[in-house]
Amino acid sequence: PLSTTPLTQCTMLILIGNQKGGAGKSTLTLLLANYLAQQHDRRVTVLDMDHQQSLSAKAEKAKILENEPLYEIVPADLGHFPAMQRKLEKSRNEIVLVDLPGKMDDDGLIPIFAAADAVLCPFAFDEFSVDSTLLFAMVIGKINSRAPLVFVPNRIKNTVKYETRTEVEKVLRVFGTVAPGLPDRIDFQRVNSLHTPSILYPVILPLLDLIYDQYIAKQVSP
């Protein structure tokens, strides 16, 4: 049977994923990585396992500009994880964020799910996104019931009916916690591996502070 013990008490593995592509995984990964590195001076490594590898592309672009990176972004295939896990087990006081692929049709995901210390799942309030989110939650829950699952409402539009949102959140709370959401704003396109626009801080801090206080600060010592 697969072990679902954490990597170590000094390293934390946080997955950011959903069964549906385009849910906002990569943006949420960058927001959290920037926040941890800049606001809390944490050691962060990002594993870019999404097939599009947009985070790795942004990191390469930052290198061309000769800016000092806040953290390392490593492009990785699912098959690389067991070897990476052995390396991560030797790290101390490090937070590893994994931007997962947008599909769950690869058995290589199983050891990653099993090793997770927490899982963040961005989603939208449309029917297709909610169905994909529930499927993702059920698979995660079967493989790793230890890791808390945090749903992050993303790209919230003013047109979303309150009754729809309440009903969806009620269903999701069967599987995990529903965090404060992120609005649909063009400014999120300006987030990169070096910088989060200051105009976004009022809307992202309630979410990121909650994730940090509830799930990270207690597990990884500064």
At residue 165, what is the residue type? R
pTM of the full predicted structure? 0.90
Between 137 and 221, residue with greater pLDDT: 137
Q: Which two tokens stand for residue 16?
A: 């950011």
Whole-number Å distance between alpha carbons of 84 and 95: 14
Q: What is the pLDDT of residue 66?
A: 65
Is residue 5 predicted with pLDDT exceeding 70? no
- Burial status of residue 222 (CB atoms within 10 A of its CB: 0-12, 13-18, 19 or more): exposed
Q: How confident is the model at residue 103 (pLDDT cuts 50, 70, 90)?
A: confident
pLDDT by residue (tens digit) across 104-140?
888 889 999 999 999 999 999 888 889 999 999 999 9
Between 131 and 93, residue with greater pLDDT: 131
CB distance 181 to 211 below 8 Å: no
Q: How confident is the model at residue 201 (pLDDT cuts 50, 70, 90)?
A: very high
Other beta carbons less than 10 A from residue 79's beta carbon: 11
